[in-house]
Amino acid sequence: MKKQHLIGFLFVAILLSFSSCKKSSFAATDTLYVPTATDATATATLTQLQSGYNLYKNSCGACHGLYSPDSYSASNWTSILASMAPKAGLSSADKALVYKYVTRGK
């Protein structure tokens, strides 16, 4: 009887761990803009935008779907990143790069 309880407990634990990192249908990663030289601004180099893109796609997209950067205003992205960056384990420098990407270098 104890063995059955243990197996049941492990099954539930595994199920919960997979559901906590669930992807949903947001923007497909192939619809996200990929920065090019024309996207560079006075406050964001092409290298910074590309790094932000990679972090957004790989760190943020590891646990959930991604919104198109144009889905939110710069102030909305500030709030979103304030709450999500710690969950994704982003450093403040990485968070700044993601912000540059999602706000298109504003």
* Residue-by-residue pLDDT tens, the chain, 106 positions: 566 665 655 555 554 454 445 444 466 667 899 999 999 999 999 999 999 999 999 999 998 999 999 999 999 999 999 999 999 999 999 999 999 999 999 8
What per-residue string of b and e applies to 35-70 under the rule 16 or more CB within 10 Å gives b?
beeebbeeebbeebbbbbbebbbebbbeeeebbebe
pTM metric for this prediction: 0.74
Q: What angle do CA 29, 22, 52 make, to 5 degrees?
A: 35
Are 27 and 65 spatial neighbours (Cβ–Cβ below 8 Å)? yes
Q: 51 is written with which tokens?
A: 């790094």
Q: How far apart are CA 93 and CA 25, in angstroms?
A: 28
